[in-house]
Amino acid sequence: MEVTAKVIAEHFNGEIIGNPETKVSQVARIESGKPHNICFLANPKYQKYLLESNAGIVIVSRKLLPEDCSSVKPTMIVVEDAYQAVASLLDLLNSLKKSKKSGRAFLSYRAMSSKIGKGVYVGRFSYIGSKSKIGNGTQIYPQVYIGKDVTVGENVIIYPGVKIYDGCIIGNNCILHANVVIGSDGFGFAPTQDGSYKKIPQTGNVVVEDDVEIGSNTVIDRATMGSTIVKKGVKLDNLIQVAHNVEIGENTVIAAQSGIAGSSKIGKNCMFGGQVGVAGHISVGDGTQVAAQAGIQGSISSEVGKKGIAGTPAIDYQTYMRSYVKFKHLADK
């Protein structure tokens, strides 16, 4: 779908230099922009490309605006911070491109005791169990399984292959990408005298609060008792394991292939790199920043965590880097 410079500028109160009726349909890098592309300039390293670009529109941070704009071919939209504006732009283009569906497709199943809100779409081969509730405007793509007594909020997007087990709760405005599993059994087994293991029933559920996004193939286990909780605004990447009775605080982001063992509590506004491992029954303080592949084996206070941690076992980042200078040369001696 094409959109004009005028519409884009109005979306984030930008100043237009050039033709407000210039139309674009795709986003591209500034060094490879073409007439149907919109690009952005937020880094001084790429400033030289502005004079060379053939893009239709370029969003430019005000501090990078050239003194002589007459030599710039693209229409420019000037903002205070182009990097922040591009996130808003992508949201605009996505909303224009995607129109919501409604209704229930042929070969989908909905239990008679379930309740479906207004404007809900249910794709083919999807299943909604007894006494489940689906909020207004939610989009359920094909081949989704929703068990019994599940609550799904309003304007949720559930992509193909997602499985939501019995009794789980999904808040408003969440996005669950393909093959997410919510509410599978926690890994609970008790050793017996003969060396075998007896399964411990997992009787709790998973609660996902509002504005959470969960990446493809991520699994969140139900609690043994009570709830596994993912709080408001959390963003989880693909291929993440969240074990039973874990609690993840508001606005925490966790990158791919990370794993959090049972009953651990992660604070709010934390940032985890990829492949981070968290041991069970520990706490990680608010605002903790964790380097990729770190192994957290003990509780981390907010005071330490905000300075950054790295390594296995994880220690504060500055200590890790000083140690790294030494141990990377141990083999030379």
Candidates 177, 244, 281, 329; catalytic one = 244
Cis ω for the linkage preceding 191 (within 30 of 0): no
Among candidate residues 292, 210, 279, the one with its CA nearest the CA of residue 246 = 279
329 a catalytic residue: no
Residue whose structure tokens are 């033709």: 19
For residue 261, the SS3 value is coil
Among candidate residues 269, 174, 288, 287, the one with its CA nearest the CA of residue 220 = 174
**Nearest 5°: phi and psi at 117?**
-75, -175
Q: Cα–Cα distances in Å, from 162 out to 23, 135, 143, 178, 311?
A: 37, 17, 7, 6, 34
**Backbone Cα Rg of the chain:** 24
Cβ burial, residue 90 (10 Å; 0-12/13-18/19+): exposed
CA dihedral 256→260→264→265, nearest 10 degrees, is 10
Q: Taking CA 162 as the corner, what is the angle to CA 159 and CA 165, rounded to the nearest 5 degrees?
A: 145
Q: Which amino acids are annotated catalytic? A: 244
